[in-house]
Structure 1
Amino acid sequence: MPSTSVDHSGVPARTAASAPASGRLRSNPWLTLCAVAFGLFMVQLDGSVVAIANPAIGRDLNASTAQLQWVTNSYLLALAASLILGGKLGDRFGRRTFYLVGVAGFAISSVAIGLSGSIGGVILFRAVQGLFGGLLMPNTLGLLRAVFPPKKFGMAVGIWAMVSAVSTALGPIVGGLLVEHVSWESVFYINLPIGVLALAFSAVVLPQSKNPAGHQRFDVPGVVLLALGLLSVVFGVVKGETWGWTSAGTWGAILAGIVLLVLFGWYETRVAHPLLPMRLFRSSALTVGTVVTALNFFVLLGAVFFVMLYLQNVRGCTPVEAGVRTLPLSLASLVASPLGAALTGRFGARFCMPLGMALQAAACFGLLTWSTDSSYATMWPPFVALGLGVGMVMAASSDAIVGNAPVQDGGVAGGLQATTLQIGGALGTSVLVSVISARVGSTLGGELTAAGVPAAAADSLKEATDAVAMGVAPVSDTMPTQLRAAVVEGSGQAFMNGLHAASLVTGLLCVAGAVLAAVGIRKSAASG
């Protein structure tokens, strides 16, 4: 199908009156925003819906806890490794083209996950799904950067952030309904109709846009160094829980990844056409926005992961009930993203970004008041604060990163933001699971004994630390009623110890992010 190219030399000046009749639809930036929202919604929904489906996947496919982690992490690793590449490919060969390829591949691989029939197949096709997501996501922002003038770009990013935050927050509700009333496979099958609708609409309205600089040599060494560096760092963090945080394997993988990323940065300053131009980081607003974006999704995906364990395994909620109880998070995100865009447009990212991180810190510290029998009145305020904070940070950081990049590098900037977002999510899940496991392991015996479990039985139950860290009490039908009740009580309290430790870690990181945003972006403004 023929396409209309967008001029990148400056702000698009074409108007509806001057556009030819056949290209009128593709000259409308708001239709472009609607089109990319479909693909963005699909990817972000999928990223969080799996948290609800994981228990059912584990039961149906006899998967271990480690394998269930890889259902999430194989997707996040592949996505993180391919996002900047996807943005670069779009900048060079056409953002519309790679967006459409990404949508089609994401939908097809989603169906393959549901049909795979084994935990190995699920993990494999989740990785394939992540690769296609890496083609799709960065080009959403690249397309918006190309068609929206600067005065309207902030509001467009606010709506983009709203779609991203709301779809992520809606994942538990949609997933709960599908798992409870259909099957776990349906949480992946749902991407097929969304993908078909996205392809049909996008093929009609999306303009073609790319970097007008002409033919450039592709940075293959840069692609290899970046992908290997990201994979190595995240792999080391993911395996830290099972290998141990003091093991040579864990730190060897992390340090090898850091060395590769440093080498990547050095190499990128010495090639004519780099994969990721280091000049982008001359903007401290862009640099700070990148770090805060990672923190934002570290907190969001990490918190959603352990909150869902608490609601389903400790409190006994069904998937739908757990999803409904997190509805305040979704509604707050819905309000916060356009509000954050408006505040960013008026006061700047240096106001909105620290405010969002402060709200998230309040949410995390609020979780410290939770217990095994907390009322819902204790639960919903942290959900509201978390949703407001995530939405505001998404809007402000998107503007700081993509808004401070040249138009011709819009896809790369979008890839940079999406990469840090997904790395933050992967690290949030992995690090916080490790924090919870470590705290549960150190307190389980004492909590069981305090609850009335005999010392000998408590010692034998220490081997169930992995289950307790997931919120599951190690009881059996053969246990006497009194012992069973004591094990449930002690295990629940040990899990809460882990949840509180994870909440404290995330809260302190949010405070650090708020300070970094306030100081770093203010210096940028002062110097600019």
Structure 2
Amino acid sequence: MKQVSEQTYQSWYRWIIFTVVVSGTFMVNVDSSIMNVALPVLEKDFHTTPQVLQWVISAYLLMITGILPIIGTLSDRLDRKTVFLTGIGIFTFGSLLCAFSESILQLIVFRIFQSIGGAIIMGNVMSIVSYIFPSGERGRPLGLVGSVVAAGTIVGPSLGGFLISSFGWRSVFLVNLPIGAISFIAIIFVLMSIRSNQAKNSFDVIGASLYFLAIICLLLFMSEGSTWGWDSLVSFVTITISIISFLFLIRREISIEHPIIQISLFRSSAFSIGNFTGYISYIMMMFPGILLPLYMHQVLHISESHIGFLLTPQAVCMILFSPIGGWLADKYGTHGPAMIGLLFATLGLGFMSMFHIHTSYLNIVIALSLFGIGIGLFTSPNNVAVLESAPLEKSGITGSLMATVRNFGRVSGVALSVLFLQLSGNHLYTTQGFIHATSFSFTMGFFIGILGILLTLIRLIIQRKLRAL
């Protein structure tokens, strides 16, 4: 199999390919957030409970996270163009099935099918970008991928609200059909075959099964633990199965020749620390997303429409500063900009920990803007550092692991922010008690950010020592 050369593409043509490929990423990220708006309508149409409805969203996210590394490993063995086209096809057809669901059970099953396509798309975007852009020029496009992810997340709720109010809930799935069709046709004509030189070795079915079981049980524990009770029997059984599965997985992956999870990648400090600091950043991202809407509603008594408006600066700053972070990574290296970005984001959480009953709109905007600038500056350089620490022929599994880290970090962030609220020792139904609880949670988020800064500093020191040898 012939590996595509970095010089295969002219500069202008790379950006055409980039635009076509990230359209799929945009579609998937819009779909991950658009369903939140549809839940009240689905509850009415299907006459079901919120406990059942949550699986329309949870099943989608759990399946994507559970199969991403498996998708990445398969992509490293196959033609990435064919794999990506398969992902677009599955996602688009899954959207069609979801649009014509006749029961809530059908919708959940079709969402799981749709998520397989979403996982294929998410697991291959950064890999394809790494192939078509040469080393030293990947920061800006990878930064723009971060902007597209943020934009999709922002557009989802507002687009969903418009479509549902105008055309009904089925339209949130039907809108994917023209986007998917255009993306599919464009990829056929624009993207060349991208194959690695990796031999087609036997696929580690046992390792894939162990990983899927381990990650699904862990995510269920993280997302449902507060509902089940952290010390309940079902929580204990779920986390026990996860731990045992992970232990068997690690033992197996170390001992076989062609593992599903490339444990050898984690021998690189840039790869290991980069993924862990990325995980920390996604935990941090969920603190304002979960806590601030509750704080603004219960303490400041701000209307829902104004809450949405006040949360916008974070996403806008992420969109604007992700490409800047990528540009800085290309020009000055990855570690310095990543550390500065985490510093800004951590200061933003520290600012939020000082919010009180008289906090002004301006203070909220400043804190969220500072946080968004920091996350934007951090994400692109960190992604570049992780991708360039791994061999190019393993960029599929690398990109999939990074996407897995992103989803797992988000789930962890939701669970931790709620857990810290509960651990604050204050009565959450009083204004003063809720202020203390949110302050405690943001303070814990601040210390999580400090940990990320220290790890990024350690990575910088290690890399400088390696260059000096």
Normalising by the residue count of structure 1, what TM-score does the alignment of the two structures yield?
0.80
Matched to 1:146, the amino acid is: Y
Counterpart pick for 1:38 among 3, 7, 23: 23
After superposition, the Cα gap between the structure-2 partners of 1:241 and 1:65, relative to the gap in structure 1 and judged at 3 Å, is farther
Matches within 5 A, 1:301-340: 301-309=286-294, 315=301, 317-318=303-304, 321-340=306-325
Counterpart pick for 1:7 among 3, 12, 15: 3
The residue that corresponds to 2:176 in the other structure is: 191
Counterpart pick for 2:207 among 205, 211, 222: 222
User: Residues of 2 paired with 1:401 and 1:120: CA distance?
Assistant: 39
User: Residues of 2 paired with 1:170 and 1:350: CA distance?
Assistant: 31
Q: CA deviation at 1:285?
A: 0.9
Matched to 1:253, the amino acid is: T
The residue that corresponds to 1:157 in the other structure is: 142
The residue that corresponds to 2:448 in the other structure is: 509
The residue that corresponds to 1:283 in the other structure is: 268
User: Residues of 1 paired with 2:197 and 2:6: CA distance?
Assistant: 14
Q: CA deviation at 1:318?
A: 4.4
The residue that corresponds to 1:211 in the other structure is: 196
Q: CA deviation at 1:59?
A: 5.5
Query: Are the aligned partners of 2:420 and 2:441 in contact in 1 as well (CA < 8 Å)?
Result: yes
The CA RMSD over aligned residues, in Å, is 2.9
Q: CA deviation at 1:287?
A: 0.8
Q: CA deviation at 1:389?
A: 2.1
User: Residues of 1 paired with 2:427 and 2:409: CA distance?
Assistant: 28
After superposition, the Cα gap between the structure-2 partners of 1:218 and 1:151, relative to the gap in structure 1 and judged at 3 Å, is same
Matches within 5 A, 1:42-441: 42-58=27-43, 61=46, 64-116=49-101, 118-179=103-164, 182-309=167-294, 315=301, 317-318=303-304, 321-370=306-355, 374-436=359-421
User: Residues of 1 paired with 2:46 and 2:419: CA distance?
Assistant: 24
The residue that corresponds to 1:476 in the other structure is: none
SS in 2 for 1:150: coil
Query: Are the aligned partners of 2:287 and 2:414 in contact in 1 as well (CA < 8 Å)?
Result: yes
Matched to 1:12, the amino acid is: E
Matched, 1:519 2:468: no
Alignment coverage as a number of residue pairs: 466
After superposition, the Cα gap between the structure-2 partners of 1:521 and 1:49, relative to the gap in structure 1 and judged at 3 Å, is farther
Query: Are the aligned partners of 1:354 and 1:518 in contact in 2 as well (CA < 8 Å)?
Result: yes
After superposition, the Cα gap between the structure-2 partners of 1:506 and 1:103, relative to the gap in structure 1 and judged at 3 Å, is farther
After superposition, the Cα gap between the structure-2 partners of 1:381 and 1:189, relative to the gap in structure 1 and judged at 3 Å, is farther
After superposition, the Cα gap between the structure-2 partners of 1:359 and 1:180, relative to the gap in structure 1 and judged at 3 Å, is farther
SS in 1 for 2:7: coil
Q: Encode CA deviations 1:470-502: one digit per residue, 9 max, x unaligned.
A: xxxxxxxxxxxxxxxxxxxx4x65555554443
Matched to 1:512, the amino acid is: L
Normalising by the residue count of structure 2, what TM-score does the alignment of the two structures yield?
0.89
279-288 or 147-156, larger mean C-alpha shift:
147-156
User: Residues of 1 paired with 2:389 and 2:374: CA distance?
Assistant: 22
Q: Encode CA deviations 1:285-344: one digit per residue, 9 max, x unaligned.
A: 11111112222222324532444455678746345x543332212321122111111222
Q: Encode CA deviations 1:251-310: one digit per residue, 9 max, x unaligned.
A: 332233133223222222222222222221121111111112222222324532444455
* The structure with more radius of gyration: 1
After superposition, the Cα gap between the structure-2 partners of 1:522 and 1:439, relative to the gap in structure 1 and judged at 3 Å, is same
After superposition, the Cα gap between the structure-2 partners of 1:270 and 1:52, relative to the gap in structure 1 and judged at 3 Å, is same
After superposition, the Cα gap between the structure-2 partners of 1:286 and 1:511, relative to the gap in structure 1 and judged at 3 Å, is same
Query: Are the aligned partners of 1:296 and 1:357 in contact in 2 as well (CA < 8 Å)?
Result: yes
After superposition, the Cα gap between the structure-2 partners of 1:262 and 1:64, relative to the gap in structure 1 and judged at 3 Å, is same
52-61 or 130-139, larger mean C-alpha shift:
52-61
SS in 2 for 1:335: helix
User: Residues of 2 paired with 1:373 and 1:181: CA distance?
Assistant: 38
Query: Are the aligned partners of 2:139 and 2:325 in contact in 1 as well (CA < 8 Å)?
Result: no
Q: Encode CA deviations 1:341-399: one digit per residue, 9 max, x unaligned.
A: 12222333321222222222222233334456743212211221222122222202211
SS in 2 for 1:13: helix
Matched to 2:427, the amino acid is: T
SS in 1 for 2:353: helix
The residue that corresponds to 1:472 in the other structure is: none
Matched to 2:151, the amino acid is: V
Q: CA deviation at 1:41?
A: 0.9
After superposition, the Cα gap between the structure-2 partners of 1:212 and 1:164, relative to the gap in structure 1 and judged at 3 Å, is same
The residue that corresponds to 1:443 in the other structure is: 427
User: Residues of 1 paired with 2:182 and 2:441: CA distance?
Assistant: 39
Matched to 1:331, the amino acid is: V
Q: CA deviation at 1:38?
A: 0.4
SS in 1 for 2:140: helix
User: Residues of 2 paired with 1:501 and 1:217: CA distance?
Assistant: 50
User: Residues of 2 paired with 1:428 and 1:219: CA distance?
Assistant: 31
Q: Encode CA deviations 1:113-133: one digit per residue, 9 max, x unaligned.
A: 344354444433333332221
SS in 2 for 1:215: coil
Q: CA deviation at 1:39?
A: 0.9
Q: CA deviation at 1:518?
A: 1.4
Q: Unpaired runs of 5+ in structure 1? A: 17-24, 448-489
